[in-house]
Structure 1
Amino acid sequence: MLETVNYLMGSVGPSGYGSKSTAEQVTQNCSDLSSVTAIITGATSGIGAETARVLAKRGARLVLPARNLKAAEDTRSRIVSEFPDSDVLVMALDLSSLSSVRSFVADFESLKLPLNLLMSFSADETFAEEDDGNGDGNRYARTYCERDVEHPRHYDATRAYAFSKLANVLHTKELARRLKEMKANVTVNCVHPGIVRTRLTREREGLITDLVFFLSSKLLKTIPQAAATTCYVASHPKMANVSGKYFSDCNEASPSKLGSNTTEAARLWSVSETMVSKDSKAASDLRGLGGLD
Protein backbone atom coordinates (compact mmCIF):
# COMPACT_ATOMS: atom_id res chain seq x y z
CA MET A 1 0.00 0.00 0.00
CA LEU A 2 2.78 2.41 0.95
CA GLU A 3 4.57 1.71 -2.34
CA THR A 4 1.41 2.60 -4.27
CA VAL A 5 1.02 5.87 -2.37
CA ASN A 6 4.68 6.76 -2.97
CA TYR A 7 4.24 6.01 -6.68
CA LEU A 8 1.14 8.19 -7.02
CA MET A 9 2.67 11.02 -5.01
CA GLY A 10 6.01 10.80 -6.77
CA SER A 11 7.75 10.58 -3.40
CA VAL A 12 11.52 10.37 -3.63
CA GLY A 13 13.38 7.36 -2.28
CA PRO A 14 16.92 6.91 -0.90
CA SER A 15 18.37 7.83 -4.31
CA GLY A 16 16.75 11.25 -4.17
CA TYR A 17 14.46 10.43 -7.09
CA GLY A 18 11.05 8.82 -7.54
CA SER A 19 8.33 7.87 -10.00
CA LYS A 20 7.88 11.43 -11.28
CA SER A 21 11.59 12.01 -11.97
CA THR A 22 12.63 12.28 -15.62
CA ALA A 23 15.68 10.94 -17.43
CA GLU A 24 17.11 14.44 -17.79
CA GLN A 25 16.68 15.15 -14.08
CA VAL A 26 18.42 11.99 -12.88
CA THR A 27 21.41 12.60 -15.17
CA GLN A 28 21.71 16.32 -14.51
CA ASN A 29 24.48 15.92 -11.96
CA CYS A 30 26.18 12.83 -13.37
CA SER A 31 29.79 12.94 -14.47
CA ASP A 32 30.70 13.78 -18.06
CA LEU A 33 29.91 10.81 -20.31
CA SER A 34 32.15 11.80 -23.21
CA SER A 35 34.41 8.80 -22.56
CA VAL A 36 31.46 6.39 -22.53
CA THR A 37 30.34 4.24 -25.47
CA ALA A 38 26.83 2.85 -25.11
CA ILE A 39 25.18 0.18 -27.25
CA ILE A 40 21.41 0.64 -27.05
CA THR A 41 19.06 -1.87 -28.65
CA GLY A 42 15.44 -0.89 -29.26
CA ALA A 43 16.36 2.80 -29.47
CA THR A 44 14.16 3.64 -32.44
CA SER A 45 11.13 4.57 -30.34
CA GLY A 46 9.69 4.89 -26.87
CA ILE A 47 11.84 4.48 -23.77
CA GLY A 48 14.88 3.37 -25.75
CA ALA A 49 14.77 6.48 -27.94
CA GLU A 50 14.46 8.80 -24.94
CA THR A 51 17.32 7.03 -23.17
CA ALA A 52 19.51 7.44 -26.25
CA ARG A 53 18.59 11.12 -26.53
CA VAL A 54 19.41 11.88 -22.90
CA LEU A 55 22.71 9.97 -22.91
CA ALA A 56 23.71 11.82 -26.08
CA LYS A 57 22.88 15.08 -24.35
CA ARG A 58 25.26 14.08 -21.55
CA GLY A 59 28.03 13.39 -24.07
CA ALA A 60 27.99 9.61 -24.53
CA ARG A 61 28.89 8.02 -27.87
CA LEU A 62 25.94 5.93 -29.01
CA VAL A 63 25.83 2.75 -31.08
CA LEU A 64 22.29 2.02 -32.26
CA PRO A 65 21.90 -1.54 -33.60
CA ALA A 66 18.70 -2.11 -35.54
CA ARG A 67 17.01 -4.35 -38.06
CA ASN A 68 15.12 -1.35 -39.44
CA LEU A 69 18.05 0.84 -40.45
CA LYS A 70 15.81 3.66 -41.66
CA ALA A 71 14.16 3.93 -38.25
CA ALA A 72 17.59 3.95 -36.59
CA GLU A 73 18.84 6.63 -39.00
CA ASP A 74 15.77 8.71 -38.19
CA THR A 75 16.59 8.40 -34.50
CA ARG A 76 20.17 9.41 -35.20
CA SER A 77 19.02 12.44 -37.22
CA ARG A 78 16.75 13.63 -34.41
CA ILE A 79 19.55 13.33 -31.87
CA VAL A 80 22.14 15.07 -34.06
CA SER A 81 19.73 17.89 -34.90
CA GLU A 82 19.21 18.52 -31.18
CA PHE A 83 22.84 17.93 -30.17
CA PRO A 84 25.08 18.67 -33.20
CA ASP A 85 28.26 17.46 -31.49
CA SER A 86 26.84 14.06 -30.60
CA ASP A 87 28.49 10.89 -31.92
CA VAL A 88 25.89 8.36 -33.02
CA LEU A 89 26.60 5.21 -35.05
CA VAL A 90 23.92 3.06 -36.68
CA MET A 91 24.71 -0.62 -37.22
CA ALA A 92 22.77 -3.54 -38.65
CA LEU A 93 21.47 -6.13 -36.19
CA ASP A 94 18.59 -8.56 -36.41
CA LEU A 95 18.12 -10.08 -32.97
CA SER A 96 16.00 -12.89 -34.43
CA SER A 97 19.09 -14.21 -36.23
CA LEU A 98 22.06 -15.60 -34.34
CA SER A 99 24.28 -15.16 -37.38
CA SER A 100 23.31 -11.48 -37.47
CA VAL A 101 24.18 -11.16 -33.79
CA ARG A 102 27.59 -12.72 -34.38
CA SER A 103 28.19 -10.45 -37.38
CA PHE A 104 27.29 -7.42 -35.32
CA VAL A 105 29.75 -8.41 -32.59
CA ALA A 106 32.52 -8.84 -35.16
CA ASP A 107 31.68 -5.51 -36.80
CA PHE A 108 31.65 -3.70 -33.46
CA GLU A 109 34.94 -5.24 -32.38
CA SER A 110 36.51 -4.07 -35.65
CA LEU A 111 35.75 -0.47 -34.66
CA LYS A 112 38.18 -0.79 -31.73
CA LEU A 113 35.81 1.13 -29.48
CA PRO A 114 35.36 0.52 -25.76
CA LEU A 115 32.05 -0.87 -24.56
CA ASN A 116 31.01 0.85 -21.35
CA LEU A 117 27.25 0.39 -21.43
CA LEU A 118 24.98 -2.22 -22.97
CA MET A 119 21.32 -1.28 -22.66
CA SER A 120 18.68 -3.67 -23.95
CA PHE A 121 15.19 -2.43 -24.73
CA SER A 122 12.35 -4.39 -26.28
CA ALA A 123 11.37 -3.87 -29.88
CA ASP A 124 8.22 -5.05 -31.58
CA GLU A 125 9.25 -8.18 -33.46
CA THR A 126 7.09 -10.52 -35.51
CA PHE A 127 8.61 -13.97 -35.86
CA ALA A 128 8.20 -15.81 -39.12
CA GLU A 129 9.20 -19.29 -40.19
CA GLU A 130 12.39 -18.42 -42.00
CA ASP A 131 16.01 -19.45 -42.43
CA ASP A 132 18.85 -16.96 -42.47
CA GLY A 133 21.08 -19.16 -44.60
CA ASN A 134 23.01 -20.57 -41.65
CA GLY A 135 20.38 -22.84 -40.22
CA ASP A 136 19.59 -20.45 -37.38
CA GLY A 137 16.47 -18.69 -38.57
CA ASN A 138 14.11 -18.34 -35.63
CA ARG A 139 14.66 -21.80 -34.23
CA TYR A 140 15.06 -20.52 -30.68
CA ALA A 141 11.90 -18.42 -30.96
CA ARG A 142 10.08 -21.43 -32.41
CA THR A 143 11.31 -23.64 -29.59
CA TYR A 144 9.86 -21.31 -26.96
CA CYS A 145 6.55 -21.11 -28.84
CA GLU A 146 6.34 -24.71 -29.98
CA ARG A 147 4.28 -26.07 -27.13
CA ASP A 148 1.92 -23.11 -27.27
CA VAL A 149 1.37 -23.74 -30.98
CA GLU A 150 0.69 -27.40 -30.28
CA HIS A 151 -1.84 -26.41 -27.60
CA PRO A 152 -3.15 -22.98 -28.70
CA ARG A 153 -6.00 -23.00 -26.19
CA HIS A 154 -3.46 -22.91 -23.40
CA TYR A 155 -1.67 -19.81 -24.72
CA ASP A 156 -2.05 -16.68 -22.60
CA ALA A 157 -0.31 -13.62 -24.05
CA THR A 158 -0.24 -11.78 -20.73
CA ARG A 159 1.23 -14.79 -18.95
CA ALA A 160 3.82 -15.25 -21.70
CA TYR A 161 4.83 -11.59 -21.44
CA ALA A 162 5.12 -11.87 -17.65
CA PHE A 163 7.36 -14.92 -17.98
CA SER A 164 9.57 -13.07 -20.46
CA LYS A 165 10.05 -10.29 -17.90
CA LEU A 166 10.73 -12.86 -15.19
CA ALA A 167 13.39 -14.35 -17.47
CA ASN A 168 15.04 -10.92 -17.69
CA VAL A 169 15.29 -10.72 -13.90
CA LEU A 170 16.60 -14.28 -13.54
CA HIS A 171 19.15 -13.77 -16.31
CA THR A 172 20.41 -10.61 -14.62
CA LYS A 173 20.80 -12.43 -11.30
CA GLU A 174 22.77 -15.30 -12.79
CA LEU A 175 24.93 -13.08 -15.00
CA ALA A 176 25.82 -10.90 -12.01
CA ARG A 177 26.73 -14.00 -9.99
CA ARG A 178 28.99 -15.32 -12.73
CA LEU A 179 30.70 -11.97 -13.27
CA LYS A 180 31.39 -11.71 -9.54
CA GLU A 181 32.79 -15.24 -9.53
CA MET A 182 35.11 -14.24 -12.39
CA LYS A 183 36.12 -11.07 -10.48
CA ALA A 184 35.17 -9.13 -13.60
CA ASN A 185 34.91 -5.36 -13.37
CA VAL A 186 31.44 -5.44 -14.90
CA THR A 187 28.08 -4.74 -13.28
CA VAL A 188 24.64 -5.75 -14.53
CA ASN A 189 21.24 -4.70 -13.22
CA CYS A 190 17.58 -5.07 -14.14
CA VAL A 191 15.15 -2.17 -14.46
CA HIS A 192 11.37 -1.86 -14.31
CA PRO A 193 10.43 1.36 -16.16
CA GLY A 194 6.87 1.51 -14.85
CA ILE A 195 3.57 1.59 -16.69
CA VAL A 196 3.79 3.63 -19.87
CA ARG A 197 1.95 3.47 -23.17
CA THR A 198 4.51 3.30 -25.96
CA ARG A 199 4.22 2.23 -29.60
CA LEU A 200 4.70 -1.38 -28.48
CA THR A 201 1.44 -1.31 -26.49
CA ARG A 202 -0.47 0.91 -28.92
CA GLU A 203 0.04 -1.63 -31.69
CA ARG A 204 -1.79 -4.19 -29.57
CA GLU A 205 -5.02 -2.22 -29.52
CA GLY A 206 -8.22 -3.96 -28.55
CA LEU A 207 -11.26 -3.34 -26.39
CA ILE A 208 -9.76 -4.77 -23.21
CA THR A 209 -6.33 -3.19 -23.77
CA ASP A 210 -7.84 0.21 -24.53
CA LEU A 211 -10.15 0.00 -21.52
CA VAL A 212 -7.31 -0.89 -19.16
CA PHE A 213 -5.18 2.00 -20.38
CA PHE A 214 -8.15 4.41 -20.19
CA LEU A 215 -8.90 3.45 -16.59
CA SER A 216 -5.24 3.61 -15.59
CA SER A 217 -4.40 6.77 -17.56
CA LYS A 218 -3.71 8.76 -14.40
CA LEU A 219 -1.21 6.13 -13.29
CA LEU A 220 0.80 6.05 -16.51
CA LYS A 221 4.28 7.50 -16.67
CA THR A 222 5.42 9.75 -19.47
CA ILE A 223 8.21 8.37 -21.64
CA PRO A 224 10.79 10.74 -20.04
CA GLN A 225 9.70 9.43 -16.62
CA ALA A 226 9.81 5.82 -17.80
CA ALA A 227 13.38 6.32 -19.06
CA ALA A 228 14.53 7.79 -15.75
CA THR A 229 15.31 4.54 -13.92
CA THR A 230 17.36 3.18 -16.81
CA CYS A 231 19.36 6.40 -17.11
CA TYR A 232 19.87 6.52 -13.34
CA VAL A 233 21.20 2.96 -13.18
CA ALA A 234 23.40 3.54 -16.23
CA SER A 235 25.01 6.82 -15.22
CA HIS A 236 24.71 7.73 -11.56
CA PRO A 237 27.95 7.56 -9.51
CA LYS A 238 26.13 5.68 -6.72
CA MET A 239 25.69 2.75 -9.11
CA ALA A 240 29.41 2.23 -9.75
CA ASN A 241 29.73 -1.07 -7.84
CA VAL A 242 26.11 -2.20 -7.67
CA SER A 243 25.30 -5.45 -9.51
CA GLY A 244 22.59 -8.08 -9.68
CA LYS A 245 19.90 -5.76 -8.35
CA TYR A 246 16.39 -4.84 -9.43
CA PHE A 247 15.37 -1.18 -9.73
CA SER A 248 12.03 0.58 -9.96
CA ASP A 249 11.27 4.32 -9.81
CA CYS A 250 15.02 5.07 -9.64
CA ASN A 251 15.47 3.07 -6.44
CA GLU A 252 16.45 -0.47 -5.57
CA ALA A 253 13.40 -2.68 -5.13
CA SER A 254 12.67 -6.31 -4.32
CA PRO A 255 11.69 -8.65 -7.16
CA SER A 256 9.06 -11.31 -6.68
CA LYS A 257 9.88 -14.57 -4.92
CA LEU A 258 10.19 -16.24 -8.32
CA GLY A 259 12.55 -13.49 -9.45
CA SER A 260 14.86 -14.30 -6.54
CA ASN A 261 15.05 -18.04 -7.24
CA THR A 262 18.74 -18.75 -7.87
CA THR A 263 18.06 -22.36 -8.89
CA GLU A 264 15.71 -21.27 -11.67
CA ALA A 265 18.17 -18.55 -12.69
CA ALA A 266 20.91 -21.15 -13.18
CA ARG A 267 18.53 -23.44 -15.08
CA LEU A 268 17.48 -20.60 -17.38
CA TRP A 269 21.14 -19.86 -18.08
CA SER A 270 21.77 -23.48 -19.02
CA VAL A 271 18.79 -23.53 -21.39
CA SER A 272 19.84 -20.20 -22.91
CA GLU A 273 23.36 -21.46 -23.56
CA THR A 274 21.92 -24.42 -25.43
CA MET A 275 19.59 -22.21 -27.45
CA VAL A 276 22.38 -19.95 -28.72
CA SER A 277 24.76 -22.82 -29.35
CA LYS A 278 26.14 -23.18 -32.87
CA ASP A 279 25.06 -26.81 -32.70
CA SER A 280 22.12 -27.05 -35.10
CA LYS A 281 20.59 -29.78 -32.93
CA ALA A 282 20.64 -27.64 -29.79
CA ALA A 283 17.08 -26.40 -29.98
CA SER A 284 15.59 -29.85 -30.48
CA ASP A 285 17.58 -31.14 -27.51
CA LEU A 286 15.99 -28.61 -25.15
CA ARG A 287 13.23 -30.99 -24.18
CA GLY A 288 15.81 -33.13 -22.42
CA LEU A 289 16.74 -30.21 -20.18
CA GLY A 290 13.22 -29.83 -18.88
CA GLY A 291 13.71 -26.08 -19.01
CA LEU A 292 10.63 -25.28 -21.07
CA ASP A 293 8.02 -27.35 -19.27
Structure 2
Amino acid sequence: MLPWIFSRKGASGFSWASTADQVTAGISAAGLTAIVTGASSGIGAETARVLAARGAHVVMAVRNLAAAETVRQAVLAETPGASVEVMELDLSSLASVRKFAADFAARGLPLNILINNAGVMATPFSLSKDGIEMQFATNHVGHFLLTHLLLETMKKTSHESNVEGRIVNVSSEGHRFAYKEGIRFAKLNDEEEYVISVQTLCFPLPFT
Protein backbone atom coordinates (compact mmCIF):
# COMPACT_ATOMS: atom_id res chain seq x y z
CA MET A 1 0.00 0.00 0.00
CA LEU A 2 2.66 2.54 1.02
CA PRO A 3 4.82 2.14 -2.14
CA TRP A 4 1.71 2.90 -4.23
CA ILE A 5 0.93 6.05 -2.21
CA PHE A 6 4.48 7.39 -2.51
CA SER A 7 4.72 6.64 -6.23
CA ARG A 8 1.28 7.97 -7.19
CA LYS A 9 1.74 10.87 -9.59
CA GLY A 10 0.10 14.24 -9.04
CA ALA A 11 -1.05 16.86 -11.52
CA SER A 12 2.58 17.75 -12.23
CA GLY A 13 3.30 14.25 -13.43
CA PHE A 14 5.64 13.64 -10.49
CA SER A 15 5.28 12.00 -7.09
CA TRP A 16 7.00 12.04 -3.73
CA ALA A 17 9.28 9.36 -5.13
CA SER A 18 10.46 11.55 -8.01
CA THR A 19 14.08 12.70 -7.81
CA ALA A 20 15.38 16.20 -8.47
CA ASP A 21 17.16 14.85 -11.54
CA GLN A 22 13.86 13.54 -12.91
CA VAL A 23 11.94 16.74 -12.16
CA THR A 24 14.54 18.95 -13.87
CA ALA A 25 15.35 16.66 -16.80
CA GLY A 26 15.62 18.67 -20.01
CA ILE A 27 15.47 22.01 -18.18
CA SER A 28 18.30 24.52 -18.49
CA ALA A 29 19.10 26.88 -15.64
CA ALA A 30 21.93 28.53 -17.56
CA GLY A 31 22.22 32.22 -16.78
CA LEU A 32 20.39 31.92 -13.46
CA THR A 33 21.88 32.55 -10.03
CA ALA A 34 20.58 30.64 -7.03
CA ILE A 35 21.26 30.82 -3.30
CA VAL A 36 20.64 27.63 -1.33
CA THR A 37 20.85 27.84 2.46
CA GLY A 38 22.00 24.78 4.36
CA ALA A 39 23.61 23.36 1.23
CA SER A 40 26.31 21.43 3.09
CA SER A 41 24.16 18.32 3.58
CA GLY A 42 20.82 16.65 2.94
CA ILE A 43 18.19 18.26 0.75
CA GLY A 44 20.24 21.46 0.47
CA ALA A 45 23.28 19.64 -0.91
CA GLU A 46 21.15 17.73 -3.42
CA THR A 47 19.40 20.93 -4.49
CA ALA A 48 22.74 22.65 -5.05
CA ARG A 49 24.06 19.66 -7.01
CA VAL A 50 21.12 19.52 -9.40
CA LEU A 51 20.89 23.28 -9.94
CA ALA A 52 24.60 23.38 -10.73
CA ALA A 53 24.24 20.41 -13.08
CA ARG A 54 21.51 22.28 -14.93
CA GLY A 55 23.77 25.27 -15.47
CA ALA A 56 22.85 27.67 -12.66
CA HIS A 57 25.46 29.60 -10.72
CA VAL A 58 24.92 28.26 -7.21
CA VAL A 59 25.85 30.02 -3.99
CA MET A 60 25.97 27.58 -1.08
CA ALA A 61 25.05 29.65 1.99
CA VAL A 62 26.27 27.58 4.91
CA ARG A 63 27.48 27.60 8.49
CA ASN A 64 29.90 24.67 8.07
CA LEU A 65 32.37 25.80 5.42
CA ALA A 66 34.45 22.61 5.49
CA ALA A 67 31.43 20.37 4.91
CA ALA A 68 30.19 22.64 2.15
CA GLU A 69 33.56 22.58 0.40
CA THR A 70 33.41 18.77 0.39
CA VAL A 71 30.00 18.96 -1.28
CA ARG A 72 31.26 21.56 -3.75
CA GLN A 73 34.16 19.36 -4.78
CA ALA A 74 31.79 16.43 -5.28
CA VAL A 75 29.57 18.61 -7.49
CA LEU A 76 32.56 19.69 -9.56
CA ALA A 77 33.74 16.08 -9.90
CA GLU A 78 30.33 15.14 -11.27
CA THR A 79 29.87 18.28 -13.37
CA PRO A 80 33.33 19.72 -14.17
CA GLY A 81 31.95 22.88 -15.73
CA ALA A 82 29.63 23.68 -12.81
CA SER A 83 29.64 27.16 -11.29
CA VAL A 84 29.28 26.78 -7.55
CA GLU A 85 30.73 28.70 -4.62
CA VAL A 86 30.55 28.69 -0.84
CA MET A 87 29.66 31.67 1.35
CA GLU A 88 29.39 31.69 5.14
CA LEU A 89 25.95 32.17 6.70
CA ASP A 90 24.82 31.41 10.24
CA LEU A 91 21.05 31.90 10.21
CA SER A 92 20.87 31.88 14.01
CA SER A 93 22.82 35.16 14.03
CA LEU A 94 21.17 38.29 12.66
CA ALA A 95 24.61 39.88 12.31
CA SER A 96 25.75 36.95 10.16
CA VAL A 97 22.64 37.23 8.00
CA ARG A 98 23.26 40.94 7.46
CA LYS A 99 26.93 40.31 6.65
CA PHE A 100 26.04 37.61 4.13
CA ALA A 101 23.52 39.86 2.40
CA ALA A 102 26.02 42.73 2.29
CA ASP A 103 28.79 40.49 0.96
CA PHE A 104 26.46 39.10 -1.71
CA ALA A 105 25.37 42.59 -2.74
CA ALA A 106 29.01 43.66 -2.95
CA ARG A 107 29.60 40.89 -5.48
CA GLY A 108 27.15 42.57 -7.86
CA LEU A 109 25.57 39.24 -8.75
CA PRO A 110 21.97 38.88 -9.94
CA LEU A 111 19.63 36.66 -7.94
CA ASN A 112 16.92 34.59 -9.58
CA ILE A 113 16.28 31.86 -7.02
CA LEU A 114 16.41 31.87 -3.22
CA ILE A 115 15.88 28.51 -1.55
CA ASN A 116 15.43 28.83 2.21
CA ASN A 117 16.28 25.26 3.09
CA ALA A 118 18.47 25.32 6.21
CA GLY A 119 16.94 24.34 9.50
CA VAL A 120 17.39 22.64 12.86
CA MET A 121 14.92 20.50 14.77
CA ALA A 122 14.51 19.19 18.30
CA THR A 123 17.86 20.55 19.45
CA PRO A 124 18.61 21.05 23.16
CA PHE A 125 17.06 24.29 24.40
CA SER A 126 19.28 27.33 23.91
CA LEU A 127 19.07 30.97 22.90
CA SER A 128 20.76 32.53 19.89
CA LYS A 129 23.24 35.39 20.16
CA ASP A 130 20.25 37.68 19.72
CA GLY A 131 18.37 36.11 22.63
CA ILE A 132 15.89 34.16 20.51
CA GLU A 133 15.10 30.46 20.99
CA MET A 134 17.55 28.73 18.65
CA GLN A 135 15.12 26.76 16.52
CA PHE A 136 12.84 29.74 15.90
CA ALA A 137 15.84 31.99 15.29
CA THR A 138 17.36 29.67 12.69
CA ASN A 139 14.32 28.32 10.90
CA HIS A 140 12.19 31.44 10.84
CA VAL A 141 13.72 34.75 11.93
CA GLY A 142 17.02 34.24 10.10
CA HIS A 143 15.34 33.28 6.84
CA PHE A 144 12.82 36.11 7.15
CA LEU A 145 15.59 38.67 7.48
CA LEU A 146 17.64 37.06 4.70
CA THR A 147 14.69 37.17 2.30
CA HIS A 148 13.94 40.77 3.23
CA LEU A 149 17.54 41.86 2.61
CA LEU A 150 17.78 40.05 -0.74
CA LEU A 151 14.35 40.95 -2.06
CA GLU A 152 15.34 44.16 -3.84
CA THR A 153 18.15 42.34 -5.66
CA MET A 154 15.67 39.70 -6.78
CA LYS A 155 13.22 42.36 -7.99
CA LYS A 156 15.97 44.18 -9.85
CA THR A 157 17.15 40.94 -11.46
CA SER A 158 13.64 40.04 -12.54
CA HIS A 159 13.02 43.49 -13.99
CA GLU A 160 16.27 43.60 -15.94
CA SER A 161 16.18 40.02 -17.21
CA ASN A 162 12.43 39.70 -17.67
CA VAL A 163 12.69 36.34 -15.91
CA GLU A 164 10.40 35.86 -12.91
CA GLY A 165 12.27 34.97 -9.75
CA ARG A 166 11.43 32.30 -7.21
CA ILE A 167 11.62 32.16 -3.41
CA VAL A 168 11.21 28.64 -2.04
CA ASN A 169 10.70 28.00 1.68
CA VAL A 170 11.35 24.37 2.57
CA SER A 171 9.06 23.17 5.34
CA SER A 172 8.13 19.88 7.02
CA GLU A 173 5.17 17.86 8.20
CA GLY A 174 5.86 19.19 11.70
CA HIS A 175 3.36 21.99 11.12
CA ARG A 176 0.59 19.44 11.54
CA PHE A 177 1.37 19.22 15.25
CA ALA A 178 1.09 22.93 16.03
CA TYR A 179 -0.94 24.27 18.92
CA LYS A 180 -4.60 24.87 18.07
CA GLU A 181 -4.22 28.58 18.83
CA GLY A 182 -1.11 28.85 16.66
CA ILE A 183 2.37 30.01 17.64
CA ARG A 184 2.69 31.00 21.28
CA PHE A 185 4.80 34.07 20.64
CA ALA A 186 4.76 35.15 24.29
CA LYS A 187 6.42 31.88 25.29
CA LEU A 188 9.01 31.45 22.53
CA ASN A 189 11.92 31.67 24.97
CA ASP A 190 10.27 29.55 27.67
CA GLU A 191 12.43 26.46 28.20
CA GLU A 192 9.66 24.39 29.75
CA GLU A 193 7.31 25.23 26.87
CA TYR A 194 10.05 24.30 24.39
CA VAL A 195 10.60 20.88 25.97
CA ILE A 196 6.87 20.13 25.81
CA SER A 197 6.78 21.22 22.15
CA VAL A 198 9.71 18.97 21.22
CA GLN A 199 8.18 16.00 23.04
CA THR A 200 4.91 16.55 21.19
CA LEU A 201 6.73 16.75 17.85
CA CYS A 202 8.76 13.60 18.46
CA PHE A 203 5.87 11.67 19.99
CA PRO A 204 2.77 13.32 18.49
CA LEU A 205 -0.59 12.88 20.13
CA PRO A 206 -3.55 11.67 18.02
CA PHE A 207 -5.29 14.42 16.08
CA THR A 208 -8.27 15.92 17.88
TM-score exceeds 0.5: yes
User: Which residue pairs with 1:22 in the alignment?
Assistant: 19
Deviation at 1:72, TM superposition (A): 1.2
Aligned to 2:152: none
Matched to 1:7, the amino acid is: I
Q: Which has the higher contact order (CA 8 A, sep 6+)?
A: 1
Query: Is the CA contact (8 Å cut-off) linking 1:96 and 1:127 kept in structure 2?
Result: no
The structure that has the greater radius of gyration is: 1
Distance 2:82 2:135 in 1: 41
Structure 2 spans left out of the alignment, 5+ residues: 149-154, 190-208
Q: 2:34 aligns with which of 28, 38, 47?
A: 38
3-state SS in 2 of match to 1:139: coil
Letter in 2 for 1:54: V
What pairs with 1:179-198 in structure 2 (closer than 5 Å)? 187-191=166-170
CA distance in 1 between partners of 2:166 and 2:30 (Å)? 20
* Alignment pair present for 1:54 and 2:50: yes
SS of the aligned residue for 2:58 comes to: strand
TM-score w.r.t. length of structure 1: 0.46
| Secondary structure of the corresponding residue to residue 115 of structure 2 | strand
Q: For the structure 1 residues 69 and 191, does the alpha-carbon distance in structure 2 shift closer, same or farther, using more than 3 Å as the test?
A: closer
Paired position in structure 2 for 1:208: none
Identity %: 39
In the alignment, structure 1 residue 112 sits paired with structure 2 residue 108: yes
The whole-number CA distance in structure 1 between the counterparts of 2:124 and 2:15 is 36
Q: Quick one: structure 1 residues 95 and 186, their matched pair in 2 at CA, closer, same or farther if it must change by over 3 Å?
A: same
Name the count of aligned residue pairs: 167
Structure 1: unaligned runs, 5 residues or longer: 131-135, 146-163, 176-181, 195-254, 276-282, 284-293
2:67 is aligned to: 71
Kindly provide the amino acid, as one letter, of the partner of residue 89 in structure 1. E
TM-score, normalised to structure 2, is: 0.63
* Residue 96 of structure 1, CA deviation: 1.4
Structure 1 contact 129–138 (Cα < 8 Å) conserved: no
Question: Which letter maps to 2:32?
Answer: V
Residues 1:104 and 1:128: Cα distance change in structure 2 (over 3 Å): farther
Q: CA deviation at 1:88?
A: 0.9
Q: Does 1:141 align with 2:133?
A: yes
> 2: distance between equivalents of 1:42 and 1:104?
13
Q: Distance in 2 between matches of 1:142 and 1:53?
A: 28
Q: Is the 8 A contact 1:43 1:52 kept in 2?
A: yes
Residues 188/61 of structure 1: CA separation in 2 closer, same or farther (3 Å cut): closer
The CA distance in 2 between the partners of 1:39 and 1:144, in whole Å, is 21
> Offset of 1:7 from its aligned partner?
2.2
